Chains A and B, each alone.
Chain A
């Protein structure tokens, strides 16, 4: 992704990040293999992929919960330290994380108000009742919620409380890993609306990690699609959704069932996700790709810019016609010598 530096540059910037886990028998499993993504102020960036693609590892690396084996993560230009036993440097408190399961991110034995006060105290703020009520109001919960325990709330309400807890730190960037996946459709819609409003009101930047491209389309301005540890396509959500340039993105879109009553079956994708400890040579997607050619087995495609900020790691990204039903010409066709921007 093209990035600026200075005050207009991204708040959170991940460059060529690699995360490696050691398997039981000592083999290295590369969960993330050189992924770059950035989040600017007031921007929601979606990170989409199926289970095991490395999106959560990348999200954890973004907040310092996972060590890097290569690349860098910076927040406001400073490298994000990997969390150890010590306290987190004050400079990184505005970088916060939100997880899928609000049942496990709230303490079941303490009142909501106390837990919000913890967050305020940790960020050096006075834990006044007014401030706690204000936090609850930001997530559309009544002030009376402060005197209750997490189990007294529904899943959607609990996720609101977890968001209020995060907001206590006055974050400028939030890394949200599947924050709506455990919720019913209506509660999902409510949380998505809430995050969108928070972005508009506070100018927070959000890295929104989800397996559901449909949800991401509702919330994000930009999106990155991940497959087997690499970002295979990225760009403005409208362009990526409307005219995907990577066959995997197309497959994700075609596989989502549509609730229109027409009874159309979604399109599947043959095969299985390969073992990340032994990724296929060449393009990682070629064994399942409907348009793969012989050279796809040999060449790992670089990220090709197709114009309008959209990029795809596919040798055919600039052919335009092959991926989507539409057949518009690509606006810019750049050759294979694409470089990661500094």
Chain B
């Protein structure tokens, strides 16, 4: 469905071009949920913006973004407009900023249907009600007349999801879709997403810093650090038995996953800033398993078996995983 090949994103600053996303590969199959995780600043959101052709001005891209055989990088504005929302749509983290505060929910939903699908007023309204029902917004008739601020955060995110799904896109980019929500509401939205994926064979790129969220929804998981992919593979492997030291470290920093009350462990140091990446492996200064060559040679993504790739030649967890 969607393939990113060697996607790099650069931003210009005083000293020249600074790499923000570095040669990221990604592939997304039909009806598949790909979880993309990493700390803030790892380039997760930028990659999604690039797919939509929505990168801020002043950024340069390299590589390719192939959607169903078609190159999107450098595609015309008109073509991107047609793809965006219709074929590939997006839900953002904060529904209170992605919805227009002054327009009624009905207007925002039907606008979309009329632009992309050319529906008439009544047909668009009928479809809008169906959509709100499908994301289980109670009383869709009156919800259409409401404005975003009249709804709770969870309902707002459902409405944003209804808008994203309005034109039956093939791909949904979900950027931290539940991060702003309470945990019980988050659970409801995750379950709803799973249903939509199963019913419509929707492909989803789920971007989240929360490995718990990714673990509960994603089929495959890609972990990013400082703009590069460090590990990618099936969910059960990457989260259940991670191979890259960074993925391991990220998991042991999670409060929910460790069984005992004292298991969490912070990763020493802080993520590097773009433009100040250490030589070699970007994670090496914070890595407990780094050897001398880690700070000089940049590790390439290499398969450890038929399912998992990691960017770590040291591979300290090889034994513990293959047993």
| Interfacial residues, chain A to chain B (CB-CB below 8 A) | 50-51, 154, 156-157, 184-190, 192-193, 211-215, 217-218, 237-238, 251-252, 254-270, 272-273
Q: Mark B177-200, 1 if CB is under 8 A from A, else 0.
A: 000001111111011001000000
Tell me if B266 and A257 are in contact (CB < 8 A).
no
A202 to chain B, nearest CB (A): 19
Tell me which residues across on chain A come within 8 A of B39, comparing CB atoms: 184-186
Tell me if A211 and B264 are in contact (CB < 8 A).
no
Tell me if A237 and B241 are in contact (CB < 8 A).
no
Identify 29 residue pairs between A and B in the complex whose beta-carbon atoms are under 8 Å apart, listed by A's number: A50-B185, A185-B39, A185-B250, A186-B267, A189-B264, A189-B266, A193-B264, A193-B265, A217-B255, A218-B264, A237-B261, A255-B184, A257-B213, A259-B212, A259-B214, A259-B257, A261-B238, A262-B236, A262-B240, A263-B217, A263-B218, A265-B194, A265-B216, A266-B183, A268-B185, A268-B190, A268-B191, A272-B152, A272-B155
Interface size on B, residues (CB 8 A): 52
Tell me if A211 and B253 are in contact (CB < 8 A).
no
Tell me which residues across on chain A come within 8 A of B257, comparing CB atoms: 258-260
B263 to chain A, nearest CB (A): 8
The listed residue (B153, B183, B215, B266) touching A212 by CB distance below 8 A is B183
Tell me if A218 and B266 are in contact (CB < 8 A).
no
| Most chain A C-beta atoms within 10 Å of own C-beta, residue among B182, B185, B186, B238 | B182
The listed residue (B183, B188, B209) touching A50 by CB distance below 8 A is B183
The listed residue (B216, B241, B250) touching A263 by CB distance below 8 A is B216
Q: Name the residue of chain B whose CB is nearest to the CB of A196.
A: B262
Tell me which residues across on chain A come within 8 A of B127, comparing CB atoms: none
Taking A50-B183, A261-B235, A261-B237 as known contacts, 13 extra A-B pairs with beta carbons closer than 8 A to each other, sorted by chain A number, are A185-B210, A189-B253, A212-B183, A215-B255, A255-B184, A255-B186, A256-B183, A257-B256, A259-B254, A261-B241, A265-B191, A267-B187, A268-B184
| Interfacial residues, chain B to chain A (CB-CB below 8 A) | 39-40, 152-155, 182-188, 190-191, 194, 209-219, 235-241, 249-251, 253-258, 261-267, 270-271
Tell me if B270 and A156 are in contact (CB < 8 A).
yes
Tell me which residues across on chain B come within 8 A of A187, comparing CB atoms: 266, 270
A218 to chain B, nearest CB (A): 5
Tell me if B261 and A266 are in contact (CB < 8 A).
no
Tell me which residues across on chain A come within 8 A of B186, comparing CB atoms: 255, 257, 266
Tell me which residues across on chain B come within 8 A of A266, comparing CB atoms: 183, 186-187, 190-191, 216
B197 to chain A, nearest CB (A): 11
| Most chain B C-beta atoms within 10 Å of own C-beta, residue among A186, A214, A272 | A186
Q: Name the residue of chain B whose CB is nearest to the CB of A218.
A: B255
CA distance A154 to B185 in the complex (A): 30
Tell me which residues across on chain B come within 8 A of A268, comparing CB atoms: 184-185, 187-188, 190-191
Given A251-B184, A264-B216, A266-B187 in contact, is the A218-B194 Cβ separation under 8 Å? no
Tell me if B240 and A260 are in contact (CB < 8 A).
yes
Given A156-B270, A265-B194, A268-B188 in contact, is the A259-B265 Cβ separation under 8 Å? no
Tell me if A189 and B255 are in contact (CB < 8 A).
yes
> When A and B form their complex, which 8 residue pairs have the shortest distance between CB atoms, in order from nearest?
A261-B240, A257-B212, A190-B266, A268-B188, A261-B239, A214-B256, A269-B184, A50-B182
Tell me if A259 and B194 are in contact (CB < 8 A).
no
Q: Name the residue of chain B whose CB is nearest to the CB of A191.
A: B266
Tell me if A258 and B255 are in contact (CB < 8 A).
no
Q: Name the residue of chain A whose CB is nearest to the CB of B195.
A: A265
CA distance A156 to B238 in the complex (A): 26
B219 to chain A, nearest CB (A): 8
| Most chain B C-beta atoms within 10 Å of own C-beta, residue among A50, A211, A218, A259 | A259
CA distance A109 to B214 in the complex (A): 39
Tell me if A263 and B261 are in contact (CB < 8 A).
no
Q: Name the residue of chain A whose CB is nearest to the CB of B194.
A: A265
The listed residue (B185, B217, B263, B266) touching A186 by CB distance below 8 A is B266
Tell me if A257 and B253 are in contact (CB < 8 A).
no
Q: Name the residue of chain B whose CB is nearest to the CB of A183.
A: B40
CA distance A257 to B255 in the complex (A): 11
CA distance A212 to B262 in the complex (A): 16
